[in-house]
Amino acid sequence: MNIFITLDYELFFGDSGTPEKCIIEPTNELIKIANKHNFKCVFFVDSGYLIKLKEYKHQYPQLEQDYNLVRNQIKELSDNGHDIQLHIHPHWEDTEYSENGWVFDLKRYRLDAFSEDEIENIFYKYKSVLEEIIDKKINTYRAGGWCIQPFEKLKTAFLKYGLKIDSTVFYKGKNSTKTQWFNFSTAKNLDHWKFSNDPCIEDEDGSFIEIPIASTKVSPSFFWKFVFIKKIGSKKHKPYGDGNASPTSNQQIKRLLTKPSYSVVSMDGYKAILLNSAHKKYTKENKKNFVIIGHPKAFTEFSLNKFDKFIGDKLMKCDSVKIFSEV
Ligand SMILES: [Zn+2]
């Protein structure tokens, strides 16, 4: 099976936290594991952050430091063969900085809140800022907060800016909060397909490829354990990130505590415990692609240990790790 190790490289959007703790340090820990087993990762960079850092860096020396730190890590990752791809959180458009930190306004969290012209401009800006740093072309997209629908409004930008692959959808994924709405219930249980107007609907003549994030069924009891572990706050379960998620994500957690749901297969925190069973199921189903998602800010000592063992074991067998620029 092809395993894709994909990371959403970003701050928190409630209380942002610092780039050192949310991005730089946990990414470096992951790279140690990647070097040990000799594989490359895919980083979906939230480049709206870079645009804002550039905008404010002349006014605030701290932000100039932050910009250099993040920019240099992205450049180094790319130079070392890791994949840098596009992740858009358009609420950066409405974000301001003050002495107390980033002030997020999540009213326009989804791209759907913008006009088609504005969307095209956002894709142009967010993709250019990254391509300037890495001096390579980007070909893959992952929507911020999984909010890729309705795709019709993004299609022109995809065509215009050479985006060929999307990796946002996950089987039976759903979130119905007002800010962060998505619904992948029409997507089939496949490991990739072509699409044209809707990433959930296969179209053999489509110009784009969907390589969905791996998905796994999770019971409410799993999320209760998750909450319990958070409450106890032991060292090995303490996240690297020093910020806090937005209330949107907390609303979603409440839903997960009451009904069975489908989750992305993730290397974040306690969720890393599901890697093995999900992989086993994908192998049984003869799938060719297994896309794991992670967020450096949500890594813990526990999750990195679990992931290290998991990937070491799979690479000893017949799996290989792939990146999207080589698809
Ligand atoms: Zn994100």
The DSSP annotation for 157-188 comes to: HHHHTT--EE---BTT-EEE-SSSEEE-TTS-
Q: How far is the CA of 87 from the centre of ligand 1 (A)?
A: 7
Q: How far is the CA of 320 from the centre of ligand 1 (A)?
A: 26
Q: How far is the CA of 318 from the centre of ligand 1 (A)?
A: 31
Q: Cα dihedral sign for 309, 312, 318, 323?
A: positive
How far, in Å, CA of 314 to CA of 31, rounded?
Answer: 17
Nearest residue to 70 via CA among 125, 24, 7, 124: 24
Q: How far is the CA of 316 from the centre of ligand 1 (A)?
A: 31
Q: How far is the CA of 88 from the centre of ligand 1 (A)?
A: 7
Nearest residue to 72 via CA among 35, 24, 33: 24
Full pLDDT tens readout for the chain, 327 residues: 999 999 999 999 999 999 999 999 999 999 999 999 999 999 999 999 999 999 999 999 999 999 999 999 999 999 999 999 999 999 999 999 998 999 999 999 999 999 999 999 999 999 999 999 999 999 999 999 999 999 999 999 999 999 999 999 999 999 888 788 999 999 999 999 999 999 999 999 999 999 999 999 999 999 899 888 888 879 999 999 999 988 766 777 788 899 899 999 999 999 999 999 999 999 999 999 999 999 999 999 999 999 999 999 999 988 999 999 998
Report the pLDDT value the prediction gives residue 227, as an integer from 0 to 100.
Answer: 84
How far, in Å, CA of 311 to CA of 202, rounded?
Answer: 30
pTM across the whole model: 0.96
* Whether 211 contacts 4, CB under 8 Å: yes
Report the pLDDT value the prediction gives residue 233, as an integer from 0 to 100.
Answer: 79
Report the pLDDT value the prediction gives residue 248, as an integer from 0 to 100.
Answer: 64
Q: How far is the CA of 103 from the centre of ligand 1 (A)?
A: 17
In Å, what is the CA distance from 293 to each residue of 55, 144, 213, 249? Answer: 30, 13, 7, 16
Report the pLDDT value the prediction gives residue 311, as an integer from 0 to 100.
Answer: 98
Residues 6+ apart with CB under 8 A from 116: 153, 156
Q: How far is the CA of 142 from the centre of ligand 1 (A)?
A: 8
Q: How far is the CA of 104 from the centre of ligand 1 (A)?
A: 14
What is residue 73's three-state secondary structure?
A: helix
Q: How far is the CA of 236 from the centre of ligand 1 (A)?
A: 24
Q: How far is the CA of 228 from the centre of ligand 1 (A)?
A: 25
Residues 6+ apart with CB under 8 A from 231: none
Q: How far is the CA of 175 from the centre of ligand 1 (A)?
A: 15
Q: Which residues on neighbouring strands pair with residue 263, listed in sequence order?
A: 216
How far, in Å, CA of 181 to CA of 145, rounded?
Answer: 9
Q: How far is the CA of 89 from the centre of ligand 1 (A)?
A: 6
Q: How far is the CA of 264 from the centre of ligand 1 (A)?
A: 13
Nearest residue to 77 via CA among 34, 121, 20: 34
Report the pLDDT value the prediction gives residue 3, as an integer from 0 to 100.
Answer: 98
Domains of the chain, CATH where assigned: 2-326 (3.20.20.510)
In Å, what is the CA distance from 257 to each residue of 150, 165, 225, 236? Answer: 28, 33, 10, 23
Q: How far is the CA of 172 from the centre of ligand 1 (A)?
A: 19
How far, in Å, CA of 211 to CA of 190, rounded?
Answer: 9
* Whether 218 contacts 185, CB under 8 Å: no
Report the pLDDT value the prediction gives residue 180, as an integer from 0 to 100.
Answer: 86
Q: How far is the CA of 284 from the centre of ligand 1 (A)?
A: 30
Q: How far is the CA of 9 from the centre of ligand 1 (A)?
A: 7
Nearest residue to 67 via CA among 56, 82, 81: 56
Q: Which residues on neighbouring strands pair with residue 266, listed in sequence order?
A: 293
Copy the structure tokens of residue 60: 């605030």
Task: Enumerate the H helices of the chain as residue ranges.
Answer: 19, 25-37, 47-56, 61-79, 116-134, 152-160, 220-232, 247-256, 275-284, 301-316
Residue matched to tokens 């679990």: 306
